[in-house]
Structure 1
Amino acid sequence: MNKSTLRWKLLKSILFTALFTGILYFLFVQIGLFLHPGFVSLWFSLLSPLFVMLLVIVLGSYFSYKDTLSIRNRLEDISTQIITLSRGRFTEKIKLTEEDEIGRISFELNELTDKLQKQVTSLQNLANQKADLAEKARGAAIIEERQRLARDLHDAVSQQLFALNMMSSASIKMMDRDIETAKSQMVDVADLASKAQVEMRALLLHLRPIHLSEDTLCVGIRKLVDELEKKSGVTFHLTLDELPELPGGIEENLFRIVQESLGNALRHAEASVIRITVKLKKKQFSLHIKDNGKGFEMNENKKGAYGLDSMQERSDEIGGQFRVSSRPDEGTLVEVRVPLEG
């Protein structure tokens, strides 16, 4: 038995109590024999203290076991509640049974749960308000997005097209002199053209509207995947639970995270298979996006390059938990968990 547990400490107290009781009883019997010789037999005076000690140990152990069992169960409820809170589920509470010290701790923990739930609700309300404000500022955002797209087109696709032009021109000139070298250069041209095509599809993905219009989140994801599957050649596997009606701000941020993640998988990961899972369990929404791409080393520079900071901010705005795990040659996993109210 672990000597630091509550039961061991209680058992140790019972053993000391039994020993002390047996000694007192033995002294009491000896005083009785001294004052009244023949009061009890010698064997009784020697064995009865042992019987009393055994009785104290048995009864004490029985009642302490019952009491500590109840205390242990209540402490385990508190431990389970703390783990539940750490996982972002703020709807479950501890059942209050007694108004003692543990009961007061349980009550305070339930109060903390309510406060956390209210904070999450406030964050989600702010996200909805921000979505309304974002709608009004969409004109400016469109201009900014066009400027960003122009930069990306210049930095990536435009340079690749320039390289294609130069390489194809060189191959045409080389055909008359060295046909094998020309063939090798044309293979490089085809490879570069394929990369430029993937780059363009990823950029076009970011041109999609960040709002879902009249579609639900799951319908929007299915439409997005259907379009990408036809154009990119990537295989998608969808597992989408039926969801209740979600506030617009939450759906828009989650959809934008999906867009950003899929864009990364197409543009950087060179993935051939992408799995998207949406689940709802005990008022806890979870989104998993897993690809089999080339992965990357997790560090601050990569986070900024792949737009992970933006996805983290969107998750924070709706009171969610965002996590990315990736290793070279092992693909990338994006996870978002959001507690839902009511």
Structure 2
Amino acid sequence: MTSIRLWFIQTFLMMAFITSLILFIGLQIFIFLVPDSGLSTSMTFWFWLYSFVTIAAVGFYFSLRGSYVIKGRLGDILLFIATLRRGKFTERIMTDEKDEIGLISEELNQLSEYLQEQVYSLQRLAEEKTELSKTVKSVATMEERQRLARDLHDVVSQQLFALSMMSSASLRWFDQEPEKARKQLEQISEIAGKAQGEMRALLLHLRPVQLSGESLCEGIIKLIRELKQKTNLAFEASVDEIEHISQAAEEHIFRIVQEALSNILRHADATKVKLILSEEQQYIHLYIGDNGKGFDIHEERMASYGLKTMRERCEQIGGTYNIRSKADEGTYIEIRIPAMRREE
């Protein structure tokens, strides 16, 4: 009811009605001024009805035809805008017309070029930022150590303290209340498993930020192999070599993978992880999903520091970041980053 085609039809039908009404009034005035003209009111009415139907039919046809063309062109513009919103800044809308819609299309093409240049500028800035960050590596290392110390104190040390207290209680109950001791041992086993997951996640952060001369593909494969040996996670991985990527983008993507796997170890209770890294149509695609317990991404308390860090890293290199999660069905993230141009 709100389409532009309906608006065209209503406009043309209104024009037909008004035109025929003016014609009818004019004939009535003519009959009044010239009584001997031989025209009667019934004749003018039928003439008005005939003219209205004719004009309305012609107007209806041309309104459909005109609205079809305009709606098609506006549909192309809407589709192009949706493409830009998804981060595909290399796309262009084709138009040969020089009217207002054509001018809008040209402006959108220029906007797309501008956004594409801004993405490349972000990548260059990220590259420069990476170079500058090397000069403050010692400070960053110290901050990372302090953060790990806080995590160890806040989580792992508390869990170890709980294990110590509960194990002491189990020893006292072992002979007198064996059933109570058994339940206590089950809780000890559960807490020990959580502590082990926390430690494995923290060990991921002890890896260097740089890839130490390895390519992104090699670094991710090495990381997956280590996790296969040290955890019970089953990996379904497809990692391609990325040709058109800056050093900054490599390091950011590698840290995003580390952060995502760390979150899975800490919170997801997952058994399977799917990881895909590929380069298609001038874009780098990263997908990481698990079959864990999931969470509500709209809850403020669930917006963890790790998720915010991944989003910020993605935005720093001009990428788009999407996360989906559902309770008992797992979580996945999708990242799309423009590849470096060949000349760069």
SS at match of 2:323: strand
Match of 1:40 in 2: none
| Offset, 1:78 | 1.0
SS at match of 1:275: strand
Match of 1:131 in 2: 130
Aligned pairs (5 A) from 1:69-80: 69-80=68-79
Contact persistence 2:13–2:56 (CA under 8 A) = no
CA distance in 1: counterparts of 2:21 and 2:171, whole angstroms? 106
Percent identity, aligned pairs only, is: 44
Match of 1:8 in 2: 9
Match of 1:41 in 2: none
SS at match of 2:201: helix
CA distance in 2: counterparts of 1:50 and 1:163, whole angstroms? 93
Match of 1:42 in 2: none
Match of 1:223 in 2: 222
Match of 1:86 in 2: 85
| Offset, 1:186 | 3.2
Contact persistence 1:18–1:54 (CA under 8 A) = no
1:178-237 superposed Cα distances (whole Å, 9 cap, x missing partner):
444444433333332222211111110111122223333333322222211221101222
Aligned pairs (5 A) from 1:210-289: 210-240=209-239, 243-289=242-288
Deviates more, 1:80-89 or 1:54-63: 54-63
Deviates more, 1:45-54 or 1:161-170: 45-54
Structure 2 residue 70 is the aligned partner of structure 1 residue 97:
no
Cα pair distance change 1:299/1:52, threshold 3 Å: closer
Contact persistence 2:9–2:60 (CA under 8 A) = no
Aligned pairs (5 A) from 1:11-160: 11-12=12-13, 15-16=16-17, 19=20, 65-160=64-159
1:69-102 superposed Cα distances (whole Å, 9 cap, x missing partner):
3322221111111111111111111112111111
Contact persistence 2:216–2:241 (CA under 8 A) = no
Instruction: List alignment gaps of at least 5 residues for structure 2.
Output: 39-43
Structure 2 residue 301 is the aligned partner of structure 1 residue 301:
yes
CA distance in 2: counterparts of 1:288 and 1:227, whole angstroms? 20
Match of 2:41 in 1: none
Contact persistence 1:319–1:338 (CA under 8 A) = yes
Amino acid aligned to 1:188 = Q
SS at match of 1:296: coil
Contact persistence 1:25–1:49 (CA under 8 A) = no
Cα pair distance change 1:167/1:224, threshold 3 Å: same
Deviates more, 1:193-202 or 1:211-220: 211-220
Corresponding pairs, count: 336
| Offset, 1:265 | 1.0
SS at match of 1:140: helix
CA distance in 2: counterparts of 1:133 and 1:292, whole angstroms? 39
Contact persistence 1:164–1:193 (CA under 8 A) = yes
1:273-313 superposed Cα distances (whole Å, 9 cap, x missing partner):
22223354443433332222223333333324x42221221
CA distance in 1: counterparts of 2:50 and 2:66, whole angstroms? 24
Cα pair distance change 1:50/1:181, threshold 3 Å: closer
SS at match of 2:186: helix
Match of 2:165 in 1: 166
Cα pair distance change 1:227/1:36, threshold 3 Å: same
Amino acid aligned to 2:292 = G
Instruction: List alignment gaps of at least 5 residues for structure 1.
Output: 38-44
CA distance in 1: counterparts of 2:211 and 2:143, whole angstroms? 20
CA distance in 2: counterparts of 1:48 and 1:319, whole angstroms? 67
Amino acid aligned to 1:209 = P
Amino acid aligned to 1:207 = L
Deviates more, 1:88-97 or 1:329-338: 329-338
Contact persistence 1:289–1:335 (CA under 8 A) = yes
Aligned pairs (5 A) from 1:171-190: 171-190=170-189
| Offset, 1:23 | 6.6
Structure 2 residue 196 is the aligned partner of structure 1 residue 197:
yes
Contact persistence 2:17–2:56 (CA under 8 A) = no
TM-score, structure 1 length as denominator?
Answer: 0.80
Deviates more, 1:47-56 or 1:141-150: 47-56
SS at match of 1:334: strand
Match of 1:310 in 2: 309
Cα pair distance change 1:20/1:151, threshold 3 Å: same
Amino acid aligned to 1:302 = M
| Offset, 1:66 | 4.4
CA distance in 2: counterparts of 1:251 and 1:160, whole angstroms? 35
- Over aligned residues, Cα RMSD in angstroms? 3.6
Amino acid aligned to 2:265 = L
CA distance in 2: counterparts of 1:183 and 1:36, whole angstroms? 115
| Offset, 1:176 | 4.4
